[in-house]
């Protein structure tokens, strides 16, 4: 899967595929199956690189969950290093030769911490910390490691307007101010078992919130306003935090952003790299951003197994809701053929998913419906393999994390 011709700057965005085209390609394959359209994925990669405008992009492994795709992406100039999501996963990837790993979420896995302390390597995965408790926990579990354990300090990016009466943002780190960050930095450097290697702040309420909600113009306007205000406040605070922390240690990595904010986060001078993952697969939630558009790349096909009535075709399984505040936007959606939607009573089901709409009447038993997941990598927890499509052919079939026997989160 050579990445060379993949990200030709200036190439036009990939087009969306037609139902007939996919049906022809997959005529000999029985559903359920999942696929990634490489033309769309590389087109999305180009889009991300364009918005990053030269800032290196760290790839969020949770949003891809397929080792061979991650490796191919990392061969492409502009992408470097992985943002991982569990320590077991990080160690596994490290064992497979991935060596620039930033674990973005604190770990309480004592077994994996003990293993981390034992591995012989120049660049072990970096662990996330936001408190002295984290340091104590790591120290107790890892014991006396041969070399310092590298840690990343996480900054809270939330927006707290009206004197803090409103708090917008994910509940992640307690560290907000330069003083708080500097105090923890002092604590880290005072402990011989640790090295302060990075600083991260993920603005989930900017990067992960679509600002073009369907049929809700006013809400979209308010979200965009919130994002602008919050980004301005964060830029100032993050610069002050980095400055305060660098008075203690020369922290080389300052990571921020996600697919939805690559183009704004990268403008901050202190940012050394941005993160993106979902943008490669372009799941449903990423259809609803005002500033950029991606091409759907990952989808799954389910067979029609019943026709309960003229206007309904019932698919096998398909109820793969995405994580997050439960709402309709977390459900998968029929994609191809066009003109289908979920039945509002049943949604996506464990064993069956009825679809309705204009195209339902012409579907027959054994026909396939292609659906898109609301989020990116979670799809890979449902399938052992991904068919890779390029041009007019299926070029490969590669295992997902799950296909390699891994169940992360």
Binding segment (CB under 6 A) for ligand PLP, from list 108-116, 216-224, 272-280, 335-343: 272-280
When asked if residue 259 is in the footprint of ligand PLP (CB under 6 A), the reply is yes
For 228, list phi and psi in degrees, rounded to 5: -60, -50
Residues ≥6 apart with Cβ < 8 Å to 167: 158, 159, 160
Binders of ligand PLP among 190-209, rule CB under 6 A? Answer: 202, 207-208
264 contributes a contact to ligand PLP by CB under 6 A: no
Tell me if 276 contacts ligand PLP by CB under 6 A. yes
User: Nearer to ligand PLP by C-beta: 277 or 354?
Assistant: 277
Tell me the closest approach of the beta carbon of residue 69 to ligand PLP, in angstroms: 13
Q: Does 258 bind ligand PLP (CB under 6 A)?
A: yes
Q: Counting contacts by CB under 6 A, is residue 278 touching ligand PLP?
A: yes
Instruction: Tell me if 353 contacts ligand PLP by CB under 6 A.
Output: no
Segment (H or E) for 74: helix 67-74
Give the list of residues 6+ apart from residue 164 with CB closer than 8 angstroms, or none: none
Of 145, 172, 139, the C-alpha closest to 157 is 172
Can you tell me the distance from the alpha carbon of 123 to that of 198, in angstroms, rounded to the nearest whole number? Answer: 13
Q: How many residues bind ligand PLP (CB under 6 A)?
A: 15
Residue 348's Cβ-side half-sphere holds a number of Cα atoms within 13 Å equal to 21
Q: How far is the CB of 254 from ligand PLP (least distance, A)?
A: 13
User: In angstroms, rounded to a whole number, what is the distance separating the alpha carbons of residues 79 and 324?
Assistant: 27
Give the one residue of 63, 84, 265, 272 binding ligand PLP; rule: CB under 6 A: 63
Residue 275 touches ligand PLP, criterion: CB under 6 A? yes
Helices 132-142 and 178-190: crossing angle in degrees, nearest 10, is: 20
- 82 part of the interface to ligand PLP, by CB under 6 A: no
Judged by CB under 6 A, which stretch of 211-219, 239-247, 275-283, 332-340 contacts ligand PLP? 275-283
Say whether residue 90 binds ligand PLP (CB under 6 A): no
- How many angstroms separate the Cα of 379 from the Cα of each of 38, 221, 284, 404? 16, 31, 12, 15
Distance CA 370, CA 367 (A): 10
Q: Which is nearer to ligand PLP, 155 or 301 (CB)?
A: 155
Tell me whether strands 127-129 and 101-103 are parallel, antiparallel or unpaired: unpaired
DSSP state of 4: T
Q: Which among 16-24, 33-41, 185-193, 276-284 is the span making contact with ligand PLP, rule CB under 6 A? A: 276-284
Any bridge partners for residue 195, and if so which? 150
Question: Among residues 31, 35, 41, 60, which is the contact residue for ligand PLP, using CB under 6 A?
Answer: 60
Interface with ligand PLP, residue 277, by CB under 6 A: yes
Q: Which of 40, 104, 282, 313 binds ligand PLP (CB under 6 A)?
A: 104
Residue 202 vs 320, nearer CB to ligand PLP:
202
Residues in the chain: 409
Candidate segments 273-281, 322-330, 338-346, 361-369, binder of ligand PLP by CB under 6 A: 273-281
* Geometric angle at alpha carbon 296, from 294 and 300, rounded to 5°: 160
Give residues with Cβ within 8 angstroms of 269, minimum separation 6: 239
Contact status: 245 vs ligand PLP (CB under 6 A)? no
- Residue 314 sits in the site that holds ligand PLP (CB under 6 A): no
Structure tokens at 303: 């067979």
Give yes or no for residue 41 binding ligand PLP (CB under 6 A).
no
Q: Nearest CA to 145 among 82, 87, 194, 182?
A: 194
Please choose, from the candidates 325, 317, 337, 310, the residue with its C-alpha nearest in 3D space to the C-alpha of residue 375: 325
Of 182 and 278, CB closest to ligand PLP: 278
Other C-beta atoms closer than 10 Å to the C-beta of 382 total 17
Cβ closest to ligand PLP, residue 278 vs residue 400:
278
Q: Which range touches ligand PLP (CB under 6 A), out of 20-28, 269-277, 306-314, 400-408?
A: 269-277
Binding residues for ligand PLP, rule: CB under 6 A, are 60, 63, 83, 104, 202, 207-208, 258-259, 275-279, 376
């Amino acid at each position: 899967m050579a990445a060379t011709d993949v990200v030709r700057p200036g190439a036009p965005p990939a087009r969306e595929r037609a139902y007939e085209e996919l049906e022809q390609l997959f005529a000999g394959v029985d559903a359920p199956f999942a696929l990634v359209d490489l033309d769309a994925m590389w087109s999305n990669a180009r889009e991300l690189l364009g918005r990053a405008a030269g800032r290196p992009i760290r790839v969020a492994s949770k949003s891809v969950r397929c080792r061979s795709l991650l490796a191919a992406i990392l061969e492409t100039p502009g992408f470097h290093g992985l943002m991982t999501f569990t320590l077991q996963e990080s160690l596994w990837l490290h064992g497979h030769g991935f060596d620039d790993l930033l674990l973005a979420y604190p770990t309480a896995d004592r077994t994996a911490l003990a293993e981390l302390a034992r591995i012989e390597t120049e660049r072990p995965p970096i662990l996330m910390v936001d408190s002295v408790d984290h340091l104590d926990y790591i120290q107790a579990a890892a014991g006396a490691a041969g070399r310092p354990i590298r840690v990343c300090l996480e900054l809270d990016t939330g927006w707290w307007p009206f004197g803090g009466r409103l708090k917008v943002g994910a509940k992640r780190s307690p560290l907000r101010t330069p003083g708080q960050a500097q105090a923890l930095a002092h604590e880290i450097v005072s402990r011989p078992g640790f090295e302060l290697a990075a600083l991260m702040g993920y603005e989930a309420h900017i990067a992960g919130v679509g600002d073009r909600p369907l049929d809700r113009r006013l809400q979209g306007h308010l979200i965009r306003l919130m994002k602008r205000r919050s980004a301005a406040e964060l830029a100032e605070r993050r610069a002050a935090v980095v400055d305060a922390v660098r008075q203690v240690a020369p922290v080389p990595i300052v990571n921020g952003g996600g697919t939805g904010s690559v183009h704004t986060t990268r403008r901050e001078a202190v940012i050394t790299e941005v993160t993106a993952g979902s943008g490669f697969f372009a799941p449903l939630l990423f259809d609803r951003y005002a500033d950029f558009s991606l091409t759907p790349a990952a989808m799954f096909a389910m067979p029609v197994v019943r026709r309960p009535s003229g206007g309904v075709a019932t698919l096998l399984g398909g109820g793969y809701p995405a994580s997050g505040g439960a709402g309709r936007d977390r459900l998968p959606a029929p994609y191809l053929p066009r003109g289908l939607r979920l039945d509002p009573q049943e949604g996506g089901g464990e064993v069956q998913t009825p679809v309705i709409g204009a195209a339902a009447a012409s579907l027959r038993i054994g026909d396939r419906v292609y659906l898109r997941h609301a989020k990116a990598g979670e799809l890979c927890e449902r399938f052992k393999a991904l068919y890779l499509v390029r041009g007019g052919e299926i070029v490969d079939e590669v295992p997902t994390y799950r296909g390699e026997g891994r169940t992360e989160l």
